Amino acid sequence: MRHTLRIAALLVLAAIAGGAYWYFVKQGGTVAGLTTMVTGAVSGGAPAPGGASGGASGGAKPPGGAPPMPVEAVPVRVGMVERTVTAVGSLLSNESVVIRPEIAGRISEIAFKEGQRVAKGTVLVRLDDAIARATLAQAQASIAFSRAELSRADQLMRQNTGPMRNREQAAAKLLADEAAVQLARAQLDKQVITAPFDGVLGLRKVSVGDFVQAGKDIVNLEDIDTLKLDFRVPEMFLPAVKVGQTVKVAVDAFGGRSFDGTVYAIDPLVDVNGRALAIRARVPNPDGSLRPGLFARVSLTLTTVPDAVLVPEQAIVAFGKDQYVFKVVEGKVAQTRVTLGERRNAEVEISKGLAPADMVVTAGQLKIRDGAPVTVVPNKPAGS
């Protein structure tokens, strides 16, 4: 008998719990509404003490007869929302080269100052060219003799007193001497090292009088009017990344200041080690504030919604896995299911469910349910 009573008690408790879940969660009921229903059922339709005699007959007051519940509400805001992804990267020179000689020689002149801005073609270093000039003079003297030899061979050929072989040998010797002159001039030109593009010179690593071998580092040249920015994003953003998207760059050297850039190249190869996509952007640097090698924090804008519907975060109410807001319509609230987008600065983007002219409840959601009459009161000051 006791066992049967226990089972019956458990069944009753389970029924009460299920009914409470259905009323409060599924139907959005309130404690005040439940109290009104119970009071009306107990009184058998008689008006509650202190109630008006002209109320609805036959039980509890319908929702339309309940006094409006005071709530705080604000109209939705229309603004621009950007979907971004953050990353870290490094700044690089637009063009960078280390000036090196192509031939060995002794430095006779350094024609630049460290840190100087130079234009393309500016002479930077001169090597001792005495040997190169002597070689050129020797080749030029040899070519003069070869031309005279060829002229005499031609004259003998016209007189039919000289063999064809002598004329061919003289012509070949002239061609060889001309090539020797060109070689000597090229070697002489390489004694002078010039800037290959506009840029800023770094710190030199040689002095006047140094004998340098071919390929010896002399100075670095950097084009920093525009910088390159290399960074990586996870492969999941591959469909959203496009050439022409904007980036905002922040560096520790200039706290609180951001620099704008534009994506111009995307590596077609995804890194198999980090499963990341390599991206390169250009960042204008007209004042020379940024320098190559700086660590950069990058914010890449993937998409921009210029007329997004925004509501305060406190307007969102969760029921299970769904998100709702209470919309004020003609003095009553309508529980509206919404689809959320980006969250920015205590605001949530509503991608589906609201229109720009709607007003949503931001405080008092626990006291209301769908269709309940409400009165909008001024928002309380922050911290009250």
Mean pLDDT for all residues in the chain: 83
The CATH number of the domain where 186 resides is what? 1.10.287
Query: Which of 92-96, 196-200, 236-240, 302-306 has the lowest average pLDDT?
Result: 302-306
CATH of the domain at 358: 2.40.420.20
| Cα(49)–Cα(273) distance, integer angstroms | 76
My answer on whether 342 and 285 are in the same domain is: no
Query: How many domains, in total, are found in the chain?
Result: 4
Question: Which spans in the chain are helix H?
Answer: 2-21, 31-43, 130-158, 164-189
pLDDT for res 149: 79
Measured between alpha carbons, how far is 230 from 244 in angstroms, rounded to an integer? 15
Burial class (CB in 10 A: 0-12, 13-18, 19+), 43: middle
Higher pLDDT, 54 or 33: 33
30 pLDDT above the threshold of 50? yes
Q: How far apart are CA 311 and CA 77, in angstroms?
A: 6
pLDDT one-digit tens code per residue, 140-193: 888 878 888 777 777 777 777 767 777 777 788 888 888 888 899 999 999 999
What does the pLDDT average to over 59-72?
Answer: 64
Note whether residue 21 is domain-resident: yes
| pLDDT tens per residue, range 99-122 | 999 999 999 999 999 999 999 999
Residue that has been written with the tokens 């951001």 in this structure? 258
The residue among 365 and 299 whose pLDDT is bigger is: 299
User: Is 326 part of a structural domain of the chain?
Assistant: yes
pLDDT for the residue numbered 1? 56
Q: Is the pLDDT of residue 384 over 80?
A: no
> Above 70 in pLDDT, residue 64?
no
**Confidence bin at 41 (pLDDT 50/70/90):** very low
**Would residue 209 count as lying in a domain?**
no
> Tens digits of per-residue pLDDT, 222-251?
999 999 999 999 999 999 999 999 999 999
Long-range contacts of 321-325 (CB under 8 A, 24+ apart): 325/350, 325/353, 325/354, 325/360, 325/361
Q: Is residue 280 part of a domain?
A: yes
In this prediction, residues 311-317 reach a mean pLDDT of: 90
Select the more confidently predicted residue: 47 or 105: 105
239 and 277 belong to one structural domain: yes
CA 106 to chain centre: 48
**pLDDT at res. 276:** 93
**Residue 280's domain is classified under what CATH number?**
2.40.30.170
Same domain? 247 vs 179: no
User: Residue 253: which domain range?
Assistant: 86-94+223-303
Give the pLDDT confidence score for residue 146 in this predicted structure. 82
Conformation bin of residue 53: beta by default, left when phi > 0, alpha when psi is -120 to 50: alpha
Q: According to the model, what pLDDT value does residue 162 have? A: 64
Per-residue pLDDT at 357 exceeds 90: no
- Residue 346 pLDDT: 86
Output the pLDDT for position 63: 47
Residue 377 has φ and ψ, to the nearest 5°, of -110, 160
Does any domain span residue 210? Answer: no
User: What is the pLDDT, as a whole number, of residue 47?
Assistant: 39
Report if residue 383 sits inside a domain: no
pLDDT above 70 covers a percentage of the chain that reads 84
139/161 same-domain check: yes
pLDDT confidence bin for 4, thresholds 50/70/90: confident
Among 173, 190, 207, the domain boundary falls at 190
